Amino acid sequence: MNDPAPSQDAFESALAARTAPLHTGSKSTRVLGVLALVLLVSLLAFALVITPPEVSQRDSFRLLYLHVPSAIVSLYVAFAITLVGSIIYLRKQSVFWDLLAGAAAEVGVLFLGITLVTGMLWGKPTWGVYWQWDPRLTSTAVSFVLYAGYLAVRKLDMDPVVRSRRAAVLGIVSFLNLIIVRYSVQWWRGLHQGQTFDVADTQMDGVMLFTALLGVITMHVVFAWLVIHRFRVAWLEHQADEAGLDVALRERRAEGANV
């Protein structure tokens, strides 16, 4: 005998009963969103118009106002959140930390992708080629694949609890590996050649320094906004799964009562 599919009404009421908001926005995140937008627009204005071109790299330098902050946010903030979330999940089995770890990694991979693309675009006029076996570029590429693998595990079609646990282990080990990759690649290239491009050598005046700082702040705010929303979507998905289970349980019980 086939189970009747739970009706849409029963599902929606079960979902509504589980959790208060059924949307991802809230007053504070709307403020955060507007702030992110304002910061982005002003970053564009400063990076593209107001700052002068850099002495030796000219206009291509402007890419770095986006490139460097994306790298900082993904490598130092996003994957650290994934690490912490994974550790806490394994200790407490709290869905909150599992979903947060996943949301941070997803946005982190996006930012790392931005880092790679802007890095290559910047490399073409600066080095004459899109790809240089520069230590940072190379280790960033490996890190990108590393966390793409983490996201692939999170997407697996399997028991959610087992999947979360395996993802958490992976989230921890990946961070360990991130460090190994970074240092070994730096060590490798360091033997053959010095840093291709030394940040300390560039001449940055007041406006440029301000723009660089603005870039870092902007990307953090954008990151926070994206992660909060990604987290809330994941949370709602989780609630929807559970609500589906609630409905199925209730229908089974009703079946039992009717016999």
Partner 1 sequence: MLRDARLVASKDLRVEATSRVLTTQVLPFALLVLILFGFGISPDQQVISGAGEGTERVAILEKVAPGLFWLAVLFSTLLAIGRSFAIESVDGNLDALRMAGLDPAGVFLGKMSAVLAELLVLELVVGLGCFALYGPPLAHPVLLVTTVLSATLGIAAAGTLYAALAAGLRVRDTLVPLLVLPVLAPVLLAATLATEAALFGPDGDGWPWALLLGAFAVLYTGAGILAFGTLVEES
Residue 177 binding partner 1, by CB under 8 A = yes
Nearer to partner 1, 7 or 184 (CB): 184
Nearer to partner 1, 9 or 157 (CB): 157
In angstroms, how far is CA 116 from the centroid of its own chain? 14
Residue 145 binding partner 1, by CB under 8 A = yes
The C-alpha atoms of residue 6 and residue 84 are separated, in whole angstroms, by 38
DSSP code of residue 93: -
Nearer to partner 1, 185 or 221 (CB): 185
Nearer to partner 1, 95 or 142 (CB): 142
Using DSSP's 3-state secondary structure scheme, residue 131 falls into coil
Q: Which of 34, 55, 162, 209 binds partner 1 (CB under 8 A)?
A: 162
Residue 188 binding partner 1, by CB under 8 A = yes
Residue 170 binding partner 1, by CB under 8 A = yes
Q: Which of 41, 48, 50, 148 binds partner 1 (CB under 8 A)?
A: 148
Angle at 141 between CA 140 and CA 142, to 5 degrees: 90
Residue 224 binding partner 1, by CB under 8 A = no
Angle at 107 between CA 231 and CA 87, to 5 degrees: 65
Binding-site size, partner 1 (CB under 8 A): 29
The structure tokens listed for 167 are 């993802």
Angle at 215 between CA 47 and CA 25, to 5 degrees: 120
Residue 185 binding partner 1, by CB under 8 A = yes
Q: Which of 53, 184, 199, 237 binds partner 1 (CB under 8 A)?
A: 184
Distances in Å between the Cα of 78 and the Cα atoms of 19, 69, 89, 179, 203 are: 27, 12, 16, 14, 30
The pair phi, psi for residue 94, each rounded to 5°, is -90, 130
Rounded to the nearest whole angstrom, what is the least distance from the CB of residue 241 to partner 1 in the complex?
Answer: 14
The C-alpha atoms of residue 78 and residue 10 are separated, in whole angstroms, by 38
Residue 190 binding partner 1, by CB under 8 A = no
Nearer to partner 1, 76 or 188 (CB): 188
Q: Are 42 and 214 in contact (CB under 8 A)?
A: yes
Q: Which residues bind partner 1 (CB under 8 A)?
A: 90, 142-143, 145-146, 148-149, 152-153, 156, 158-159, 161-162, 165-166, 168-170, 172-173, 176-177, 180-181, 184-185, 187-188
